[in-house]
């Protein structure tokens, strides 16, 4: 059994709500992306779209919400499978490494996203 | 909490109902989406870099079958996670939670995601 709680917000309900909220926002952003891509934009059009402040800041918001969504999701999966039953006394070690790896990847994605959004 | 509850999670013992398959597929597509993020970010990065980089990345992804397949895979996985995610959000409001309606909803998710995957294929090829 997993007793250590290292989800995103230390509160399961908050995590749950955050995962739903991020899903709604990503859905809306997805509709925007879909119509953008469906219009077969040229490089100039894309660049223009992504250099408007509204698009930049809402994209950043989506990236941050996506990070929360993925963090919570990956944490759920980790605590479901990396457990004492399967990994004996190494479970906490393994889960910590998994959690650190996920966190590192998420931080890397966020920094890269910011760089993309504000360098164009 | 009771610490010594009996547990039987020998996965080979189960016959999986459709709803369980829908659920595990949602989980797997979630992991795949996370794994696909560098590809998506690379695509966006190159597209915004310069006219030449834009043409190059388009050529890299759409000019050969491996690139097209990767792109199609990402779109299809997204379609599934999205449909199954929406099913979750509907269930949050208390619908589609019965045995019959849940099964029906799982079927709808599979069919819808399948149709979207085909459409994505048509779009790319
Ligand atoms: C690229 C973006 C996304 C990534 C990387 C991602 C990743 C994940 C992961 C890893 C999980 C955990 C799965 C599990 O616990 O079994 C998850 C769950 C979930 N995702 Fe996403 N997801 C993304 C986009 C979306 C979108 C657009 C929606 C909107 C419909 C969505 C809706 C959900 C919902 C509702 C859950 C919770 C499922 C549950 O409680 O079991 N996701 N996601």
Q: Is B122 on the interface with A (CB under 8 A)?
A: no
Q: Cβ contacts of residue A101 below 8 Å, gap of 6+?
A: none
| pLDDT value at A41 more than 90 | yes
Interchain pair B48, A47: CB under 8 A: yes
**In 3D, which of A13, A15, A112, A3 has the Cα closest to residue A72?**
A15
Tell me the CA–centroid distance for residue A110 and ligand 1, in Å.
18
pLDDT of residue A7: 81
pLDDT of residue B16: 83
Residue B64 has φ and ψ, to the nearest 5°, of -140, 160
pLDDT tens digits, residue range B72-85?
999 999 999 999 99
Compare A2 and A30 and report the one with higher pLDDT.
A30
Q: What is the ipTM of this complex?
A: 0.93
Q: For residue A68, list chain B residues with Cβ-Cβ distance below 8 A.
A: none
The encoded tokens of residue B22 equal 């829908």
| pLDDT value at B94 more than 80 | yes
pLDDT of residue B11: 66
Chain B: closest CA distance from residue A116 (Å): 6
Interchain pair A116, B48: CB under 8 A: yes
Residue of B21, B26, B109 with the most ligand 1 atoms within 8 Å of its CB, for mutation: B26
**In 3D, which of A93, A67, A70, A68 has the Cα closest to residue A82?**
A93
A contact set with B (CB within 8 A): 1, 20, 23-24, 27, 30, 43-44, 46-47, 50, 70, 73-74, 77, 85, 105, 109, 112-113, 116, 119-120
Q: Is B99 on the interface with A (CB under 8 A)?
A: no
Angle of the A12-38 helix axis to the A53-81 helix axis, nearest 10: 130
pLDDT tens digits, residue range A66-98?
999 999 999 999 999 999 888 999 999 999 999
d(CA A87, CA A84): 5
């Amino acid at each position: 059994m997993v007793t250590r709680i290292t989800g995103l917000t230390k509160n399961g309900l908050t995590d749950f709500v955050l995962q739903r909220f991020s899903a709604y926002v990503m859905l809306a952003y997805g509709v925007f992306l879909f119509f953008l891509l469906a219009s077969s934009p040229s490089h100039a059009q894309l660049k223009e779209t992504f250099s408007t402040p509204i698009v930049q800041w809402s994209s950043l918001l989506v990236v941050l919400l996506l990070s929360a969504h993925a963090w919570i999701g990956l944490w759920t999966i980790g605590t479901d499978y990396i457990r004492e039953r399967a990994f004996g006394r190494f479970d906490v070690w393994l889960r910590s490494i998994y959690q650190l790896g996920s966190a590192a990847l998420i931080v890397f994605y966020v920094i890269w996203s910011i760089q993309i959004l504000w360098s164009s | 909490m009771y610490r010594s509850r009996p547990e039987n999670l020998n996965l080979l013992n189960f016959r999986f109902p459709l709803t369980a398959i829908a659920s595990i597929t949602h989980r797997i597509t979630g992991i795949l989406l996370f794994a696909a993020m560098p590809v998506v970010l690379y695509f966006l990065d190159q597209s915004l870099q310069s006219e030449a980089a834009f043409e190059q990345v388009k050529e890299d992804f759409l000019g050969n079958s491996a690139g097209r397949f990767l792109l199609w895979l990402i779109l299809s996985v997204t379609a599934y996670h999205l449909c199954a995610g929406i099913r979750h959000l509907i269930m949050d409001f208390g619908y589609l939670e019965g045995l019959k309606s849940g099964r029906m909803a799982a079927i709808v998710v599979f069919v819808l995601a399948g149709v979207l995957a085909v459409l994505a294929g048509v779009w790319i090829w």
